[in-house]
Structure 1
Amino acid sequence: MMWLNLSEIADMVQGVLEGADTAVEGISIDSRTIKKGDLFVAISGDRFNGHDFVEAAAAAGAAAAIVSEPISAPLAKVQVADTVEALAKLAAQWRRRLEITVLALTGSNGKTTTKEMIANILRRCRRVIATSGNFNNHIGVPLTLLSMREQHDIAVVEMGANHQGEIRKLCNIAKPDIALLLNAAAAHIGGFGSLDGVAKAKGEIFESLSASATAILNKDDNYYDYWRQLLTKQRIIEFSLSDEAHFRLLSSRGQAAELSLAGQSRTCRMQLLGVHNIANALAAAAASYAAGASIDDIVAGIESAAAVAGRLKVRRGIKGSHLIDDSYNANPGSLEAALSVLKQTSGEHWLALGAMAELGDRSVAFHARAGKQAKAMDVHRLFTVGDDAAIAADNFGKGGESFDSVDTLIPHIKAQLKPGVSLLIKGSRAARMDRLVSALSSTNETAH
């Protein structure tokens, strides 16, 4: 189905049309995923140049391309100065054309899980488009917005950042009607300089809100007061695990949580593990309520939400062990939440920890604390991967071992595993701890 004409796109991105005006049906930055009729945007990065793949995109069926270099490929083009900026301009213009609610969320921890819960709730009552996976940066947010079509009436857009000003720029593109701020923690702190810097950057999500917009705030966060004063005339909805709020936890036992949802007391039987996921559920409930979901839809959506791959997903391990796969990413806050989940499991508790990245000059201190924290939370054995993570093993003391790579850890831990062990696997993406999960899983099914 026709989406936009290339001449329209050229006007929207302030580019120059070269070749015949043609209609495009979708958009892609990856020549391997091109569908017939798509617009290919030749994005360049530190280790690749999208212009090298324009011919491949044309061969795969691309109808046109946005480029910033001379290209001889046999398809129409829009020439621009910067393809990344052009992608942002196109997304901003397209967002303004559609009468669609945009719900944006950010935070240091829990973004993708909460985004998936919100989408799970809202699909019961609205026509939803949502961020795919965690594609939440200056490329992913525009692509999410450009996937919106007239049949949708709400977009759930996850926003991430590793430096000041990034959320502000994303919000200037997306212009959210509802903005959810989950928390601020020591994630990407190397790029923000300090925890105060993290909180300030996350607070940028509120800067572009109109007076008629809605802000969702975590009343438990240490930066609540700072974020609250950024808001003036906007509607504010709060959530909390322990304080009076529009959406709050009343009590919990096992996987059952009694929640107060806009004044209604309801029991939710959650599939997701950990108290932090109750906070995520409350955040999702508040945001979905702001978007028009009923309390019944909210409860059904929370109860049916399953763990996202690599985020506290329980799997059967070899030799009768159980794996808690939290390998997607790691920072000090998410590690603490994961250790709390591990502590609640039966049997002997082991932790395999890859280095936590982007902690700047505080990396040594944070890894030292991680080792001591693991010991204090009844971890019996600690296996680390990487130089910084080795500091955690040193501070853990007896039972701590360090390894240069996942490849050297895999045979060692395979030989050590035994029935009754609960093994938490965690690390930043660069540590590739997902390879350890694959090596130690007995099946591809989750444990029950």
Structure 2
Amino acid sequence: MALWTQRDAEQATGGTATAPFEVTGLSIDTRTIRPGEMFIALSAARDGHDFVAQAFEKGAAAALVSCVPKGVTGPCLVVPDVLDALVALAKAARARTQARVIAVTGSVGKTSTKEMLRHVLSRQGATHAAEASYNNHWGVPLTLARMPADTRYAVIEIGMNHPGEIAPLARLARPHVALVTIVASAHLEAFGSLDGIAHEKAAIFDGLEPDGTALYNADLPTTPILARAAAKAGQALGFGEAEDAAYHVTEISISADSSAVRGEIALQPGHPARKFLFKTGAPGRHLAMNAVAALAAAEAAGAEWDIAALDIADWRPPAGRGQQEVIRLDSEIDASITLIDDAFNANPASMEAAFEVLAATPTGPGGRRVAILGEMLELGPDESAMHAGLARHPALDRMDVIHTVGPRMQALAEALPERLRGLHVAQADDLGEQAHNLVQPGDVVLVKGSKGSYVSRVVDVLRNLDHPLPDEQTGK
């Protein structure tokens, strides 16, 4: 079934097609484009027009361009500005669907919460959600423009790096439900304070449809800012451990591979509260709270809470966001480590949450709890104190050694008690070269850091240590 016909795309964008076309999807990357899709020739580090011919060679059915590149004969939709045209497609896609739209933002947990929503909502109806972390000025319109007309639920992730980014994207998405997962010390360089970040995150509520639902974390120092902004919505609901939270969490129990969450729901004052108990498919207090937020958003969008609460038990984190896996170190015996891959992003709040998961994960015989930590970026002038402050977290009492990467992590390395100090290196590759010497059978190894610290390269090295067991090699 066509996602966009030539006629619909021309009407949406005001562009002119060089030939008739129908496309089944949209792509901005010739490396991953699939036959039948339209190539969007955005200009960023490279001009997308340089890749239009390659897109057609790989089976593109059309291209969205501001000019037809020399030698290209495939159908092109010519517009004055490609990004503006993509936004126009997004508006048209949003207007033609009856989907219930959920928008998600937060300093931590946006993508995990979005993936939880994708998981539980897809069991209850046709669900469309952002790929990867497509949450910026081109990612949000691309996600919306890719939305099929018959979508029942849509989940849109909205991020920011600078003031003023969230509100226009929220207005483009026009969500029925808008959710702020948490406000934490991320992008402080651009905002100067947590209050500044909270005001920007709360701008997601500006895009709500009339009578929409605003969901916010009720456990934060900046909760009053979120609550005041949410009050403009048709319904404003908090979630968390705060007594006045509509989705009130009373207990979180963390085990090796899951978390149990207990609480009660009181959506209207004076009405009896509903009790709830569910299990997540991954350990961690932060993931448990994200799960509460996801279930609340799903319910506000019209999904069945009880079904979603059952389905979230088999959700697993995406790679780089707390995913756990077993790495076998020997091909003859079952000598292994447990790797916790949380190397996609980091700030103080997510670091502390990862520490709790590491502390709660059992080791094998003779094993240790090992942390390999990359820098936390974009924290502003107090970054050294924030790195050093991690040394005070009580979960460190259950750790055995901490290796650190990057100049900013020097502050933590110096603040650690002597028993925990491992290697400190300038770059992730320096640690990767020694990774095979840093682990032993039975270890649980957490790798965590901002994407720009490149600590994910250590994850890659550790994965390469894996050896299949003999029966897997022979198939016997």
Name the TM-score, length of structure 1 as normaliser.
Answer: 0.91
* Partner residue, 1:409: 431
8 A Cα contact 2:355 2:396, kept in partner: no
Cross-structure match for 1:281? 291
**Cα distance in structure 1, aligned partners of 2:33 and 2:171:** 28
Counterpart contact for 1:117–1:301, Cα < 8 Å: no
1:357 maps onto 2:377 in alignment: yes
1:333 equivalent to 2:332? Answer: no
Q: Go from structure 1 to structure 2 and tell me whether the alpha carbon gap of 1:209 and 1:400 turns closer, same or farther (over 3 Å shift).
A: same
Q: Contact between 2:160 and 2:166, CA under 8 Å: does it hold in 1?
A: yes
Q: Does residue 247 of structure 1 match 2:247?
A: yes
> What letter matches 1:259 in structure 2?
G
TM-superposed deviation, 1:375: 8.5
SS at match of 2:207: coil
Q: CA deviation at 1:290?
A: 0.6
Unpaired runs of 5+ in structure 1?
none
| Alpha-carbon distance, 1:379 to partner | 3.5
CA–CA separation in structure 2 for the residues paired with 1:30 and 1:307: 25
CA distance in 1, matches of 2:407, 2:297: 40
Hey, what does 2:21 align to over in structure 1? 22
Corresponding position of 2:162:
163
Following superposition, the deviation at residue 8 of structure 1 comes to: 3.6
Number of residues of Structure 1 aligned to a counterpart in Structure 2:
443
Counterpart in 2 of 1:368?
388
> CA distance change for structure 1 residues 350 and 10 in 2, over 3 Å: closer, same or farther?
same
Read off the aligned partner of 1:388 and give its amino acid letter. Answer: R
Contact 1:427 1:433 in 2 (8 A): yes
Q: Residue 258 of structure 1 aligns to a residue in which SS?
A: strand
**What SS does the corresponding residue of 1:171 show, helix, strand or coil?**
helix
d(CA) in 2 for partners of 1:198, 1:306: 29
Partner of 2:237: 237
Q: How does 1:206-285 map to 2 (within 5 A)?
A: 206-230=205-229, 231-254=231-254, 255-261=259-265, 263-285=273-295
- Please give the alpha-carbon distance, in whole angstroms, between the structure 1 residues aligned to 2:240 and 2:467: 35
Q: 2:324 aligns with which of 274, 292, 314?
A: 314
Residue 162 of structure 1 aligns to a residue whose secondary structure is coil
Match of 2:460 in 1: 438
Contact 2:356 2:395 (8 Å CA) reproduced:
no
Displacement of 1:279 in angstroms is 1.0
- Local SS of the residue matching 1:229: helix
Q: 1:360 to 1:13 in 2, by over 3 A?
A: farther
Q: How far is the alpha carbon of 1:107 from its aligned partner?
A: 0.5
Residue in 1 aligned with 2:307?
297
| DSSP 3-state at the match of 2:84 | helix
SS of the residue corresponding to residue 2 of structure 2 reads coil
Which residue is 1:84 aligned to? 83
Q: For the aligned residues, what is the CA RMSD?
A: 2.3
1:206 CA displacement = 0.5
* Structure 2 unpaired stretches of 5+: 267-272, 330-334, 469-476
What residue identity is the alignment partner of 1:76? P
Give, in angstroms, the shift of residue 123 of structure 1.
2.0
- Mapped to 2, the partners of 1:198 and 1:444 lie a distance apart of 45
Matches of 2:233 and 2:138, distance apart in 1: 31
CA contact (8 A) 1:19 1:77 kept: yes
The match for 1:342 among 355, 358, 369 is 358
Secondary structure of 1:243's partner? coil
Mapping of 1:105-254 within 5 angstroms?
105-230=104-229, 231-254=231-254
Given the two structures, how large is their TM-score scaled by the length of structure 2?
0.86
8 Å CA contact 1:394–1:400 kept in 2: the answer is no
User: Structure 1 residues 416 and 183, CA, compared in 2 at 3 Å: closer, same or farther?
Assistant: closer
Match for residue 61 of structure 2 among 60, 63, 72: 63
What is the CA distance between 1:115 and its match in structure 2?
A: 1.3
Q: Is the 8 A contact 1:393 1:402 kept in 2?
A: yes
Greater displacement, 264-273 / 174-183: 264-273
Summarize deviations over 1:226-250 as a string: whole Å, max 9, x none: 1222232511222112423332222
Q: Does 1:10 align with 2:30?
A: no
Equivalence map 1:382-421=2 (5 Å): 382-396=402-416, 398=418, 399-421=421-443
Q: How much has 1:371 moved relative to structure 2?
A: 4.3
Offset at residue 106 of structure 1 (A): 0.6
Which residue of 2 is the match for residue 381 of structure 1?
401
Q: Residues 52-101 of structure 1: CA distance to partner in whole angstroms, max 9, x if unpaired?
A: 10111122222322223452211233333432222122111221122221
Separation in 1 of the partners of 2:125 and 2:467?
32
* 1:188-234 residue CA offsets vs partner (Å, 9 max, x unmatched): 22232322221111111001223311111211122222122223251
Indicate the residue corresponding to 1:49 in structure 2: 47
**Identity in percent:** 35
One-letter identity of the residue aligned with 2:458: L
In the other structure, the counterpart of 1:429 is 451
For residues 99 and 252 of structure 1, do their structure 2 counterparts lie closer, same or farther at Cα, with a shift above 3 Å needed? Answer: closer
In structure 1, C-alpha distance between the alignment counterparts of 2:53 and 2:150, rounded to whole Å: 32
Query: 1:334 Cα shift?
Result: 0.4
Tell me how far apart the structure 1 counterparts of residues 185 and 274 of structure 2 sit (CA, whole Å): 34
Gap change, CA 1:91 and 1:422, over 3 Å in 2:
same
